[in-house]
Amino acid sequence: MLIRPKAGILDPQGVAVERALPALGFSGVANVHVGRMVELDLEDPQQLRAMCEKLLANPLVEDYEVELLEGDGHAGGNGLGG
């Protein structure tokens, strides 16, 4: 699950990252949002929405996306699209 602040909700971590990147020499960065990812193995994927609504995300201020992975449950790679 990918969990991030809803549009229009203050994202202080995103603001801090957006301000820090130019100071480190990176240009052309805007609209930075910082979220979190939750990975888990479970027997019944039908439970995911309820898990997000009740515990993993705060539906008042956060949006979430669920991705089901086949096989061993790991996407592999290095998090850089590889």
pLDDT band, residue 69 (cuts 50/70/90): confident
Best CA proximity match to 37, nearest among 76, 74, 3, 72: 3
DSSP state of 6: P
Distance (Å, whole) CA 33 – CA 68: 23
Q: How confident is the model over 46-59, as pLDDT tens digits?
A: 998 899 999 999 99
- Which domains are seen in the chain, by residue range? 2-65 (3.30.1280.10)
Q: What is the pTM of this model?
A: 0.72
Distance (Å, whole) CA 37 – CA 32: 16
